[in-house]
Amino acid sequence: MAANKPASSVARTIDIESMQRGSKMNLESETISLEVNDFNLFYGDKQALHNVSMTIPKNRVTAFIGPSGCGKSTLLRCFNRMNDLIDSVSTQGEMLLDGKDLNAASVNVADLRRQVGMVFQKPNPFPKSIYENVAYGLRLQGVNDRATLDEVVEKSLKGAALWDEVKDRLTESAMGMSGGQQQRLVIARAIAIEPEVLLLDEPASALDPLSTLKIEELIHELKEKYTIVIVTHNMQQAARVSDYTAFMYMGKLIEFGATDELFTNPQEKQTEDYITGRYG
C-alpha cells in the first residue's frame, strides 16, 4: 500500500523525470518577486489564512498544493487583490511585490492587476473575436493603432502557443474554440499587457489530458518572462511544472521548498502524509 512506503519512494512514483532538472533550486540565490509576511485573512469572523510567510522567486514556477479548502486559492487571489471584491474580507500582515506593499492605500488596484494577471479554473473568453479577446486589455489602455494591436496580438498568441492554430481565423468568435484553446487564449489575453506575475488557479483542471499537456508545456516557456504561481490539486502536475512548492493545510503554510526536495524529502510529517495519500 502507498501509505506504507517512505515519502521518497512514493514521490518518485509521482514523476521522477520532473525531479531530474539538473541544477538544484536554491531559494537563497533567487531574486524575489513576491513576499508574504505573517499574513492573515478573515471572512468576517472566520479566519481562512493563518500567519502565512513565504518568498516567491522571480521567473520561477511556484505551485500551491493541499486539500480542498486549505486556502490555496484564497492566498493566490491576494496577490492581485481579487479578494477586495468580497465585502466580508479583512487582512492583517504584509504582502510585497518587488519590495512594495501591494495592500497600501496608495496602490492603484487596476494598475496592480495589470502587473499581476490571473487565469481561472474555467476558461473565460469574452464573446468577441479571437483577435479582440487578445486586444481587449490594450484597448482599455487607449491603444487603438492597428499596427500596434496586430503586432501584440500575434506576439501574445505565439507566446501562448496558439498562433499557428488560429492565425487564419482571428475574426471568428472565441466561443467556438475548444476548451484547451480557450484557456490558452485567456493566457494570451493576460500576457498581452505584459504583466510581471501570472497567477494560475487550477488552469488545467477542466481540460482533457492533451490540452493539459499543452498548458504545462506553455508554463515552462512562460517562466522565462514571467513569475508564475499555480494552484493545483494534481501532485503529478506540481512535480512536472514547478520549481518550488508550498504545501498548505487548514489555512496554514506547512512547508515550502524546492519541488524536488519537498516531494522526495519532506521535512514535515503533514507534508509526507499528504503526498503519500494518508490524508487530503
Residue 99 domain-assigned (yes or no): yes
Q: What confidence category does residue 248 fall into, taking pLDDT thresholds of 50, 70 and 90?
A: very high
20-30 pLDDT, tens digit per residue, is 343 456 778 88
206 close to 223: Cβ distance less than 8 angstroms: no
Residue 167 domain-assigned (yes or no): no
Helix (H, G, I), strand (E, B) or coil at 89: strand
108-119 pLDDT, tens digit per residue, is 999 999 999 999
Q: How far apart are CA 177 and CA 143, in angstroms?
A: 26
CATH number at residue 65: 3.40.50.300
Query: Across all residues in the chain, what is the average pLDDT?
Result: 90
Residue 280 domain-assigned (yes or no): no
For the chain, percent helix, then strand, then coil, each to nearest 5? 40, 25, 35
Residue 148 domain-assigned (yes or no): no
The pLDDT assigned to 21 comes to 41
Residue 97 domain-assigned (yes or no): yes
For residue 279, is pLDDT > 80?
no
Residue 171 domain-assigned (yes or no): no
Question: Count of residues for the chain?
Answer: 280
For residue 84, is pLDDT > 60?
yes
Residue 200 domain-assigned (yes or no): yes
| Mean of pLDDT values over 207-212 | 90
Q: How far apart are CA 40 and CA 191, in angstroms?
A: 30
Residue 109 domain-assigned (yes or no): yes
The pLDDT assigned to 27 comes to 76
The pLDDT assigned to 26 comes to 76
C-alpha cell, 210 = 492533451
The pLDDT assigned to 4 comes to 42
130-169 pLDDT, tens digit per residue, is 999 999 999 999 999 999 999 999 999 999 999 999 999 9
Structural domain count of the chain: 1
For 135, residues 6+ apart whose C-beta sits below 8 A from its C-beta are: 149, 152, 153, 192
Domain that holds residue 230: 2-18+25-125+194-275
